[in-house]
Amino acid sequence: MAGAIPETEFDRRLGAKPPVHLAVEGLRVVYQSRRGPVAAVDGVSFEVRPGMVLGLVGESGCGKSTVVKALMRLLPDSARVGGRVLLDGRDILAMDARALRRVRWNQIALITQSAMNALDPVIRVGDQIVESIRAHEEVGRATAWARAETLFALVGLPPGRLEDYPHQFSGGMRQRAVIAMALSLNAGLLLADEPTTALDPIMQDQIMARIRRIKEVLHRSMILVTHDVGLVAENCDSVAVMYAGRIVESGPASEVLVRPSHPYTIGLHNAFPRMPAEGERRPPLISIAGALPDLLAPPAGCRFAPRCPFATDRCRAEDPALRPAAPGQAAACHHAAQAGEFRRLGALPETWKAMAEAVR
Amino acid sequence: MRAYILRRLLQSLVVVFAVTTIMFFLFRIVPSDPTVMMVERGMSEEARQALLERWGLTGSLWQQYLRYLANLLAGDFGNSFFYRMPVWDVLLPRIVNTLWIAVPGLLLGALIGAALGMAVGWARRGGAVERGGILIATIIRGTPSFIIGIALLAVFSSWLGWLPGFGMGNAGDATGIARYLRWEFLLHLILPVLAVVIYFIPENLLLMRSGVVENRTEDYIELVRAKGVSDARVAWHAGRNSMLPLITWLFPALAETIAGIVVVEIVFSWPGIGRELVLAVTRQDYPLAQAAFFLLAVMIVLANLAADLTYGKLDPRVVYR
């Protein structure tokens, strides 16, 4: 795939970097708003094993992008961040500025959400990649540029386009360039924050194929942040579903997506279009009525209870913890034992429609 | 690109022509008689006529105007009523004098202002650096430039006695470049240049700051931070992007700042073109004043053109059509 671009000594050296292990423990991010503190992320824990891909899913505003930014400490100074982010055992949140600077891009790289404005508009794309390399490696410009050429070939862009400015690229090309930049030091962990959100479906597919290929060839640990359950199914080993700043369900992607235990995951599952199986009718698309709760004054019990068709009095009074629900799977639901029944009822539009009327 | 420059030059020509015309008639609408100054009391009518003819003040206004234009095209600005010598000979050395304080003053002011603006823009929002920076810049900006000049004179010249404050020092019989390459001249240069620098910093600072503040929340800045480059390098990205609006403003401002330099020249008795311009107007020395305004118009027009061209160099997204 590298085509006419030969792999350099520098490429080989970076290629030998191992993927990293990430453990997030009790991550909490509190923003100071004018009306009081808001816990955008409230006690989130998960793990990414070396070379594995974790899908972080949830609707807009659930806090998934805040988690990603917290992992790299990119949040504004006004946000208070608690908990631990252990990268191969070292806590990123406890690092001084120097150590943090070395970890960034060297060990964690970011593929950002909006490839439109992710690149500096007045600097050549190649120079922006070179900048990321030379911030960490004592190499000359020529070596770094050769590395950038290898990376462009890897993401399927003509190396000559390194000379161009971001505005000379199409949206899809910019996204590829951002991916190439994220790979510049072959960081052990890639954070892909909605890498395809701004693209049309064909381009989305191409980019995701590219990312899958990178995962196979480079064997990186990765977190894929998305609201698209389909992308998770195609690309992730494990999945964590976020709702209102918390993880409500987690486990192997194959399990969580096929047999969800939490009513929210069941709802998400039914809200996405799927190809029907042979001879089966296309399942109806069902939306979850209502909106995320106000995090200034979160509901007393389960945060999903106001939108949940199966909520009981206990749900509205008592906050459920994330507990094992099935082998390898955890859900934050008091009634996870009834998950089979919920899945059956959740597939019926009437179940959610009644809820929609109640919410209204 | 070439077609663009050509078209802009043609447009500039039209602007300069219009300014020249307006200037010509403006001076003549003023209800006063320039001959009063030249014609001595008791002079015979014939002698007066001869004088007027010599100075090109006979015939209708239109005839005078056409004659003026024809001379201008030939590069002849006429003779100064007051100095009784060609306008160009009066202006040229004064332009050079002005450039000595204007170029370093404006350049340093722009550089220091932009650098400070970047620092203030990058500082914590609502912090002491930001508040203090904006406050000081606003105060200086609101201060008339003659007060800055007088304050500098009072402190460094009168009180401390470190630096000379008036004129350019005695050049003796030195001519040409030797007139300027004197230690004494350089000492005389410091305070007026400093006054121009101080006068010019605040606007640069405030513009740069607002650019940086706007840019620091852009997505690309977040990615630059994520790359793990130094904080100064991140600030540089924001500054680099903030230079675009600054440049648009800077070049025309350079020309317009002549107004500020006039005051500096007067305060420091610096024999520059700005001071000469004011004197020429009060003396009703039409040829001199018109030539000076003509030069100013040319400068402002060229500065605008330079700004547009520099903009394309700084921002790859700009295309010339």
Residues A113 and A181 in one domain: yes
The pLDDT score that the predictor gives to residue A11 is 86
Comparison of pLDDT for A359 and A177, the residue scoring more: A177
The CATH number of the domain holding residue B306 is 1.10.3720.10
d(CA A179, CA A155): 7
Residues A203 and A287 in one domain: no
Q: Is residue B134 part of a domain?
A: yes
**How many angstroms away from the CA of A296 is the closest CA of chain B?**
24
> Per DSSP, what are the bridge partners of residue A252?
A238
- DSSP assignment of B136-160: HHHHHHHS-HHHHHHHHIIIIIIIS
Residues A209 and A275 in one domain: no
Query: Does B225 contact A101 at a Cβ distance shorter than 8 Å?
Result: no
Q: Is residue B185 part of a domain?
A: yes
Comparison of pLDDT for B318 and A317, the residue scoring more: A317
How many angstroms from the chain centroid is the CA of residue B262? Answer: 8
- Residues in chain A with CB shorter than 8 Å from the CB of B235 are none
Q: Are A11 and A151 in contact (CB under 8 A)?
A: no
For the record, the structure tokens of A82 come out as: 């608690």
d(CA A277, CA A190): 34
Domains in chain B, number? 1
The CATH number of the domain holding residue A181 is 3.40.50.300
Chains A & B: contacts with CB separation below 8 Å: 79
Q: Is residue B55 part of a domain?
A: no
Residues A221 and A279 in one domain: no
Query: Does A112 contact B241 at a Cβ distance shorter than 8 Å?
Result: no
Nearest residue to B97 via CA among B210, B192, B9, B23: B192
Residues A299 and A189 in one domain: no
The pLDDT score that the predictor gives to residue B34 is 61
Structural domain for B186, as ranges: 90-314
Optimal mutation site among A117, A194, A223, interface B, most CBs of chain B within 10 A: A117
Nearest residue to A136 via CA among B303, B228, B220: B228
Q: Are A332 and A262 in contact (CB under 8 A)?
A: yes
Residues A207 and A329 in one domain: no
- Residues in chain A with CB shorter than 8 Å from the CB of B127 are none
Q: Is residue A61 part of a domain?
A: yes
**Under an 8 Å CB criterion, which residues of B touch A?**
124, 218-220, 222-231, 233, 237, 240-241, 244, 314-317
Query: Does B227 contact A114 at a Cβ distance shorter than 8 Å?
Result: no
Q: Least CB-CB distance to B226: which of A110, A116, A123?
A: A110
- Residues in chain B with CB shorter than 8 Å from the CB of A74 are 222, 225-226
Residues A136 and A270 in one domain: no
pTM passes above 0.90: no
Residues A85 and A14 in one domain: yes
Residues A166 and A53 in one domain: yes
- Residue A36: CB atoms within 10 Å: 9
Taking each helix axis from N to C end, the angle separating A349-359 and A339-346, rounded to the nearest 10 degrees, works out to 90
**Residue A244 burial class via C-beta count within 10 angstroms: exposed 0-12, middle 13-18, buried 19 and up:** buried
Query: Does B241 contact A121 at a Cβ distance shorter than 8 Å?
Result: yes
Query: Does A112 contact B222 at a Cβ distance shorter than 8 Å?
Result: yes
Comparison of pLDDT for B276 and A144, the residue scoring more: A144
Q: Is residue B304 part of a domain?
A: yes
Query: Does A77 contact B317 at a Cβ distance shorter than 8 Å?
Result: no
**How many angstroms away from the CA of B236 is the closest CA of chain A?**
11
**How many angstroms away from the CA of B238 is the closest CA of chain A?**
9
Averaged over A227-238, what is the pLDDT?
89
Residue B42 confidence class, pLDDT cut points 50, 70, 90: low
- pLDDT for A42-62, tens place per residue? 999 999 999 999 999 988 889
- Residue B119: CB atoms within 10 Å: 18
> Pick from A192, A227, A262: which residue ends a domain?
A227
B155: pLDDT strictly greater than 90: no
**How many angstroms away from the CA of B208 is the closest CA of chain A?**
16
What are the Cα distances from residue B71, in Å, to A320, B62, B76, B78, B287? 93, 14, 5, 8, 11
Phi, psi angles (nearest 5°) of residue A225 = -95, 125
Q: Is residue A2 part of a domain?
A: no
Q: Is residue B27 part of a domain?
A: no
Residues A259 and A208 in one domain: no
B35: pLDDT strictly greater than 80: no
**Under an 8 Å CB criterion, which residues of A touch B?**
69, 72, 74, 77, 97, 100-106, 109-110, 112-114, 116-123, 131-132, 135-136, 165, 167-168, 178, 181
B28: pLDDT strictly greater than 80: no
> Pick from A211, A227, A243: which residue ends a domain?
A227
Angle, alpha carbons B250-B252-B258 (nearest 5°)? 100
Q: The tokens 């520059």 sit on which residue? A: B272
Q: Are B24 and B68 in contact (CB under 8 A)?
A: yes
Q: Is residue A351 part of a domain?
A: yes
Q: Is residue A240 part of a domain?
A: no
Q: Is residue B192 part of a domain?
A: yes
Q: Is residue B226 part of a domain?
A: yes
The pLDDT score that the predictor gives to residue A297 is 84
- pLDDT for A194-211, tens place per residue? 888 777 888 888 888 888
Structural domain for A322, as ranges: 254-359
The pLDDT score that the predictor gives to residue B49 is 74
Q: Are A110 and B226 in contact (CB under 8 A)?
A: yes
Domains in chain A, number? 2
A357: pLDDT strictly greater than 80: no
- pLDDT for A119-160, tens place per residue? 999 999 999 999 999 999 999 999 999 999 999 988 889 999
Residues A41 and A115 in one domain: yes
ipTM associated with this complex: 0.86
Q: Is residue A283 part of a domain?
A: yes
**How many angstroms away from the CA of B230 is the closest CA of chain A?**
8
Residues A209 and A109 in one domain: yes
